[in-house]
Amino acid sequence: MRAREAERGPPRARGSAPARPALDRLGLLLAAIVGCALALQPFALARPNRIAAAAPEFLWNALDPLRAGLAGAAFAAAALLLAFRNPPRLRLAAAAAALLLLGLASGWSARHLTPPGNAYIRVSPGGGAWLMLLAYALAVADALARLRLSPLGRLGALGIAAAALVLLLWSGAWDPISVMREYASRADGFRRELRVHALLALGSLAAAAIVGVPLGILCHRSPGLRGLVLGGLNLLQTIPSMALFGLLIVPLAWVAINLPGAAALGIAGIGPAPALIALVAYALLPVVSATVTGLEAVPRAVRDAADGMGMTGRQRLLAVELPLALPALLAGVRIVLVQNIGLAVIAGLVGGGGLGTFVFQGISQTATDLVLLGALPTVAMAFAAAIVLDACVELSRGGGGAA
């Protein structure tokens, strides 16, 4: 009984004012960002065509009066709730609901600002919408961190977010938005380049694992080789990605001309070959380093116990050391995959395909929506890969319990 009273603190004196709700520092900053987004930044940008200058439209003009009033009040209420120290579940619900409303309102504003029968006008989210997306997305991430979800819980949250995104796309709510109009005119090409992008990222990861894990095992067993290999791979990392892609053009062109069958295999100075080789080169250092780190973390007593059971060196490696090194290996795989999803964009510069094709076409044409068509899926893929592999790392360490 006394312990409970001590936890409650001293009783409040009669007639004293009730305690004020405490402010949350991060939430207060996010609420300020939402306030600035609503008051100072346009909610939508309307262009007569895809490359013309944009006319800013604030929330009260981007939507009809009823929707504008309700949406503005809802955004402000969610921001106010985040500004105070409320339970994480309530903060998560408010931020997630605000994100969903923001997605719907973006589609509504595009329909509202597009004249009937006008196929040329382009309406895209403005600075206010992007700032609110940032603020509420950070609020969701903060609430999930405070809830301390298990790996399976985080995967479930990712699945719910992906399902909501798919539902918005399938419903047609975003069809009038400019980037979706770009997609509608390039759907076949987009699906093809998305497959190429995924193949470049996953293929380079697989090749780096095939080469890097055995190399890491050799480096673990030979300290002299370790310094040489890791030093060379560190030096390779200092070469800028665009420079490395360019440096590979001449030697691969020579190989394609002078080695029989090389061109038939797709090896050429431009195309997927230099992109894949460069991505593998950048991926080797994280894979080799993770392998060495994981193997060094295996306790000596475990190795001695395996030797005492009569295991050969190969059996000890496959049955004991590599399974114990798996969390470190998966951490290296996470770094490589997220890194290569982003770097694969550069493949568009050397004819390697992928989503970078749209990014560089958009830059050359001064078409922001075309840039976003390549950039937004890249960011989403990297974000999802990071969450999935983070969960896999924690599960491999035995951290799959409930939050």
Per-residue pLDDT tens for 144-202?
999 988 889 889 999 999 999 999 899 888 989 999 988 988 888 999 999 999 999 99
Does 14 fall in a domain?
no
Among the candidates 96, 123, 148, a domain finishes at: 148
pLDDT of residue 224: 81
Single residue among 91, 126, 148 that ends a domain in this structure: 148
For residue 335, tell me if it sits in a domain: yes
Give the total number of structural domains in the chain: 2
Instruction: Give the phi and the psi of residue 306 in degrees, each rounded to 5.
Output: -65, -40
Residue 363 shares a structural domain with residue 225: yes
In a domain, 179, yes or no: no
DSSP calls for 237-265: HTS-HHHHHHHTHHHHHHHHHHSTTTTTT
Is residue 194 domain-shared with residue 141, that is, in the same domain?
no
Does the residue 121 lie in any domain?
yes
The CATH number that applies at residue 334 is 1.10.3720.10
Q: Is residue 13 part of a domain?
A: no
Strand locations in 34-132, DSSP E? 44-47, 55-57, 122-125
Check whether residue 277 and residue 139 sit in a common domain.
Answer: no
In a domain, 402, yes or no: no
> 218 and 301: one domain?
yes
Q: Is 47 helix (H, G, I), strand (E, B) or coil?
A: strand
Q: Please, which residues have CB within 8 angstroms of residue 225's CB and are 6 or more apart in sequence?
A: 218, 219
Contact 82, 95 (CB under 8 A): yes
306 or 159: which leads in pLDDT: 159
Same domain as 291, residue 197: yes
Q: Are 35 and 44 in contact (CB under 8 A)?
A: no
193, 135: one domain: no
Two structure tokens written together for 269: 């100075």
pTM of the model: 0.83
pLDDT digits (tens, 9 = 90+) for 29-75: 999 999 999 999 999 999 888 777 889 999 999 999 999 999 999 99
Name the pairing type of β-strands 44-47 and 122-125: antiparallel
Range of the domain at 76: 22-148
Single out the residue in 96, 117, 148 at which a domain terminates.
148
Per-residue pLDDT tens for 221-231?
A: 888 888 888 88
Is 100 inside a domain boundary?
yes
